[in-house]
Structure 1
Amino acid sequence: MATPDLPERLRAHIAKLEGRPPLETVEEFMFGHVADADSLDEIRTRLEQIARRSTSMHRRTLRALEAVITTELPPNTLARLVVWDGNWSLDDPSDAGAADFLRGLAQMLREVIEQAD
C-alpha cells in the first residue's frame, strides 16, 4: 500500500498491521467485528459503514481470512476462531463448519469492498 503522503508514524502503524500473522488478524476481526453482532446483517452493515471511509481494514482482513482458510492449522483452530473469538454459535461447530462460516465472511468482505469501489 503506497502511503507517501502520510506521516511516518502512521506509515509505521500500517506496516505493523500489514506484517501481522494472518491468524492474529482474523482473531482481531472476529473479536472486534463479529463477537458482539446479533446477525450477519448487522456485521455487513457495520462493514459497509466503515467502507464508506476506507476499505484498507477490509482488504487486510480478507487476505488474512483467505490465508487462514487455506492453511493447514492445528485441530480446532478454526472452530475456536468462530466460536470463541467470534462468539458465534454454529450448527456444525467443527473446523469444517467454521471454515464454511469464515468463507461466508470472506465473501461478505469481497462484496462490501466491491460495493465501496
Structure 2
Amino acid sequence: MMSDLPEPLRRRMAELDGMAPLETVRAFLRGEVADAESLDEIRAGLRGLAQVTTRGIRHDLTALEALLAEPPPEPGALARLVAADGNWVLDEFSEERAARFLGELAALLRSVLDEVEPSRS
C-alpha cells in the first residue's frame, strides 16, 4: 500500500506519475531500451522487473499508448526519440516506422504484464 511507503518514495512516485507521456517514454527508452541488443533482451529485463513490481511497467505502457494516440506535432519527433533516447537504429528513419516500433514496445509491455498478471487480460 502506498501509504505505508516512506515519504521520499511516495514523493518520487507522485513525481513520476506527474510526468508528461513524452518524458515518461523518454525515460523508459533510456532505461530499458538504449543499451539493449534486441527486443528479446528488453523482454527479459522487463520480466525480471515484473517479478518485483509491475507499477512502472503499467505506467510506461500508459505513457506509450498516450504518446501514440497523440504524437508530438513537431515533424520527426518520434523518430528522433527512438534514435536518440532509445539508441535504436530503425530500418527506416521516419515517423511511421518510429510509431510502429513504439507500438511494438507497447505490445511487448502488454505481453509481459499478461504473463505476470493473467487476470488483467
TM-score band by shorter chain is over 0.9
> Matched residue pairs, number?
116
Aligned partner of 2:33 in structure 1 is: 34
* Structure 1 portions without partners, runs of 5+: none
Shift of 1:12: 1.1
Match of 1:107 in 2: 107
Quote the Cα distance in structure 2 between the aligned partners of 1:53 and 1:59: 13
Q: Counterpart in 1 of 2:95?
A: 95
Contact 2:50 2:116 in 1 (8 A): yes
1:72 Cα deviation (Å)?
A: 3.6
Aligned residue for 2:93, secondary structure, equals coil
Amino acid paired to 1:95: E
Residue correspondence of structure 1 range 23-102 to structure 2 within 5 A: 23-73=22-72, 74-102=74-102
Pair 3,42 (structure 1): closer, same or farther in 2 beyond 3 Å: same
TM-score by length of 2: 0.91
**Displaced runs of 4+ in structure 1, greater than 4 A?**
none
Residue type of the alignment partner of 2:102? L
8 Å CA contact 2:30–2:86 kept in 1: the answer is yes
Identity of aligned residues (%): 49
Q: How well do the aligned residues superpose, as a CA RMSD in angstroms? A: 1.0
Q: Distance in 1 between matches of 2:106 and 2:71?
A: 18
